[in-house]
């Protein structure tokens, strides 16, 4: 296939993807699927399975996280060369009582999980459908949809399975550069979640306030100490954000126990680990125990992705730029220690992730399908 044939394939494929992407997005968003809810996960997996193209093999894989539903793997085999993994997640951070169906608001498609990342899942399903129509273009294309990305603390279970593939394309939400060019994510920070447990002593807050050892105060001071390491402008680009503090059971009792969570991100995982080491063992008689409950490696594909981005730019006849993003993604696990190319941020444009105004820009479903197909073509050998 010469470049013009690839361009025609991209344009026609993106048109077909866009024709049904909003409907597919609605089907996915309309199922409330907060991370960790097994019944909800089974429901949204059933929807995703129904949206798969005919002729693909379907497997359920043991989830990385215990006590979760199984992940969904769809596999298409072809007659050509190249093994490609399409990657996404079906879980959201939105609880059932905050859920509502997808609704159109002018040019915006609003709904919980729309941009993070059911919009990307809708596009990945469309890319798979487009590929299975041309089996001569690939040897194998897999679509992996996991159900635990938002709250996973365990190691990612599937990295080794796909380590020998040529590329992983992940469909987290897309964005534009400040100049308005299409962007994809080629680098991400390492990330960690630190949990600090406090063990003090209870006492009556009125009659014996100083007899207690206040876990709440100790954790508050720990949060401030940790936040002092926050240095996003430094060499490690380190961010330290206290996110959850729990302590106490009654308004008139000195709290004897509690826990604190810190979200820490940096250029290297070692800088995240250093924050863990900075948590003291004791403050004012309150014992503190800190552990890293979630580790996500950094992702750096800036050099590796340049040839594919250049080919995609040529095929689309408009720029496709590589950018860095601070948020974590399962693509980082695939990129860590494996020779495969990992590129993320292939989803639609939108905003409001993890917030009530979460949305997808409807018009971007077609333009971002073009970007995804151009990168598929680049990975599979388009000239």
If you ran DSSP here, which 8-state letter would residue 160 be given? G
SS3 state at 224: helix
The residue among 265, 381, 375 whose CA lies nearest residue 321 is 375
Peptide bond into 47 cis (omega under 30): no
Upper half-sphere CA count for residue 153 (Cβ side, 13 Å):
11
Stretches where the chain sits below pLDDT 70 are: 382-383
- The enclosing H or E element of 46 equals helix 38-50
What is the β-pairing status of strands 350-351 and 341-343? unpaired
| pTM for the model | 0.91
Whole-number Å distance between alpha carbons of 329 and 150: 9
Task: Compute the Cα dihedral for 203, 205, 206, 208 and give only its sign.
Answer: positive
What the chain holds in terms of domains, given with CATH numbers, is 3-189+298-379 (3.40.630.10), 191-296 (3.30.70.360)
- Return the pLDDT at 90: 98
Whole-number Å distance between alpha carbons of 316 and 240: 39
Whole-number Å distance between alpha carbons of 144 and 161: 11
- Return the pLDDT at 326: 83
364-379 helix and 3-29 helix, angle to the nearest 10 degrees: 130
Q: Give DSSP secondary structure letters for 60-121.
A: EE--SSTTSPPEEEEEEE-SSS-EEEEEEE--BS--GGG----EEETTEEE-TTIIIIIHHH
The residue among 193, 198, 174 whose CA lies nearest residue 321 is 174
CB 296 within 8 Å of CB 191: yes
Tokens of 107: 């040019």
Whole-number Å distance between alpha carbons of 131 and 138: 8
């Amino acid at each position: 296939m010469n470049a013009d044939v690839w361009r025609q394939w991209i344009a026609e494929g993106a048109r077909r993807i866009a024709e049904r992407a909003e409907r597919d997005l609605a089907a996915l968003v309309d199922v409330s699927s907060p991370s960790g809810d097994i019944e909800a996960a089974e429901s949204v997996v059933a929807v995703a399975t129904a949206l798969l193209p005919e002729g693909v093999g379907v497997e359920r894989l043991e989830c990385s996280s215990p006590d979760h539903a199984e992940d969904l793997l769809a596999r298409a085999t072809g007659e050509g060369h190249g093994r490609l993994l399409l990657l996404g997640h079906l879980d959201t951070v939105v609880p059932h009582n905050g859920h509502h169906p997808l609704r159109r608001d002018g040019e915006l498609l609003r709904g919980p999980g729309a941009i993070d990342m059911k919009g990307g899942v809708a596009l990945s399903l469309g890319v798979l459908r487009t590929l299975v129509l041309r089996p001569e273009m690939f040897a194998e294309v897999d679509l992996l949809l996991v159900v635990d990305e938002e709250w996973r603390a365990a190691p990612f279970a599937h990295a080794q399975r796909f380590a020998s593939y040529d590329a992983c394309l992940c469909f987290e939400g897309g964005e534009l550069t400040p100049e308005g060019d299409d962007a994809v994510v080629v680098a991400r920070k390492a990330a960690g979640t630190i949990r600090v447990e406090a063990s003090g002593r209870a006492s009556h807050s009125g009659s014996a306030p100083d007899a207690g050892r206040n876990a709440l105060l100790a954790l508050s001071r720990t949060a401030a100490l940790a936040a002092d390491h926050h240095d996003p402008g430094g060499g490690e680009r380190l961010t330290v954000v206290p996110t959850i503090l729990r302590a106490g059971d009654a308004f008139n009792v000195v709290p004897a126990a509690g826990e604190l969570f810190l979200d820490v991100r940096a250029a290297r995982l070692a800088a995240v680990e250093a924050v863990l080491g900075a948590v003291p063992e004791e403050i004012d008689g309150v014992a503190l125990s800190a552990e890293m409950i979630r580790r996500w490696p950094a992702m750096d594909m800036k050099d590796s992705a340049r040839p594919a981005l250049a080919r995609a730019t040529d095929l689309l006849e408009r720029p496709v730029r590589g950018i860095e993003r601070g948020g974590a993604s399962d693509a980082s696990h695939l990129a860590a220690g494996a020779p495969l190319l990992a590129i993320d941020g292939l989803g639609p444009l939108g905003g409001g992730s993890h917030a009530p105004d979460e949305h997808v820009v409807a018009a971007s479903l077609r333009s971002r399908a073009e970007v995804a197909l151009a990168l598929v073509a680049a990975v599979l050998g388009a000239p």
